[in-house]
């Protein structure tokens, strides 16, 4: 899922400078699961904004709302009309939600309340770790299901760098070297010879280096 965290309150207050009426808009998708943008977080942020503006010597009217998703047009319909009633909509969804609202609701000032960080897996309560970079050219069938793009500090494609020592990353000593893990995993699967296969130079075009990516399923279109 997409992992995000709230921006510092001072940064948000600076963004809202001059806005008298604001809608804090949450999302019940990924950011709710990682406790950054659900109903509870909307209420907490709204209260913090009221107090923060008061401490700065002013007042602010803050409305609170949470949509099922901010990345789906059917849930944004109410905002196309209601959004114009506010000086700003502060979205506490991932960056996709912020972009989508800005595209769908012309004339509405949309601001990000979160920093979107990575695609993550939940290790334990309150702890997530990046597992996928969404590169668009998956090689997990060659690497024992472990992603070298996201989990190697250098995104190396053909084994560990010369600085990997004792199965640890030279850049982040507290992080396991994923290529050491891949070697061990392929050994467990009886596929160690895969380590001798040389992957071609990576094509980063599927990762979006030529503009925003798009996928169309014709079988799902009306």
* Average pLDDT, integer, range 186-213: 76
**Mean pLDDT, rounded, of the chain:** 89
Is the pLDDT at 212 greater than 60? The verdict is no
Same domain for 140 and 169, yes or no, is: yes
Which pLDDT score, from 0 to 100, does residue 209 have? 56
Phi-psi region of 13 (alpha: psi -120 to 50; beta: other; left: phi over 0): alpha
Residues 8 and 90 in one domain: yes
pLDDT at 211 over 60: no
pLDDT score, position 183 = 93
CA 27 – CA 19 distance, rounded (Å): 22
Q: Is there a single domain that holds both residue 169 and residue 89?
A: no
Domain presence at residue 155? yes
Instruction: Give residue 199's pLDDT band: very low, low, confident or very high (50, 70, 90).
Output: confident
What percent of the chain stands above pLDDT 70?
Answer: 92
The mean per-residue pLDDT over the stretch 78-90 comes to 93
Judgement on whether residues 91 and 168 belong to the same structural domain of the protein: no
pTM equals 0.81
- Both structure tokens of 44: 């907490």
pLDDT for 213 beyond 60: no
Output the CA–CA distances (angstroms, integers) from residue 102 to 70, 79, 88, 206, in the order listed. 11, 11, 11, 25
Per-residue pLDDT averaged across 100-113, rounded?
91
Domain of 164 in residue numbering reads as 135-207
Tally of domains within the chain? 2
More confident residue, 38 or 127: 38
CA-closest candidate to residue 98, choices 82, 75, 114, 87: 114
Please tell me the predicted confidence (pLDDT) of residue 205.
66
**Distance in angstroms (rounded) separating the CA atoms of residues 16 and 176:** 41
Residue 204 above 90 pLDDT? Answer: no
Average pLDDT over residues 168-182: 90
Buried b (16+ CB within 10 A) or exposed e, 152-170: beeebbebbeeebeeeebe
207 has a pLDDT exceeding 80: no
Per-residue pLDDT, 220: 66
pLDDT in tens, 13-56: 999 999 999 999 999 999 999 999 999 999 999 999 999 999 99
Residues 39 and 90 in one domain: yes
Do residue 99 and residue 173 come from a single domain? no
Same domain for 102 and 46: yes
Q: Would you give the end-to-end CA distance of the chain in angstroms?
A: 28
Same domain for 102 and 54? yes
Domain membership of residue 219 (yes or no) is no
């Amino acid at each position: 899922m997409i992992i995000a965290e709230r921006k510092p309150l001072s940064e948000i207050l600076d963004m809202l400078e001059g806005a008298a009426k604001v809608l804090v808009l949450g999302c019940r998708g990924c950011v709710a699961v990682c406790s950054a943008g659900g109903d509870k977080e909307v209420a907490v942020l709204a209260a913090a904004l009221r107090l923060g503006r008061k401490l700065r010597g002013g007042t602010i009217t803050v409305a609170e709302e949470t949509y099922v998703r901010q990345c789906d047009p059917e849930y944004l319909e109410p905002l196309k009309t209601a959004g114009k009633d506010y000086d700003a909509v502060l979205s506490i969804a991932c960056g996709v939600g912020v972009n989508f609202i800005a595209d769908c609701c012309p004339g509405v000032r949309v601001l990000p309340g979160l920093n979107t960080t990575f695609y993550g897996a939940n290790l334990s309560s309150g702890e997530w770790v990046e597992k996928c970079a969404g590169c668009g050219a998956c090689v997990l069938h060659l690497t024992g299901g472990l992603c070298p793009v996201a989990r190697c500090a250098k995104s190396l494609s053909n084994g560990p760098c010369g600085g990997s020592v004792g199965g640890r990353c030279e850049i982040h000593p507290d992080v396991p070297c994923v290529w050491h893990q891949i070697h061990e995993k392929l050994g467990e699967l009886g596929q160690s010879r895969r380590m001798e296969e040389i992957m071609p130079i990576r094509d980063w075009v599927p990762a979006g280096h030529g503009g925003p990516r798009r996928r169309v399923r014709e079988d799902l279109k009306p």
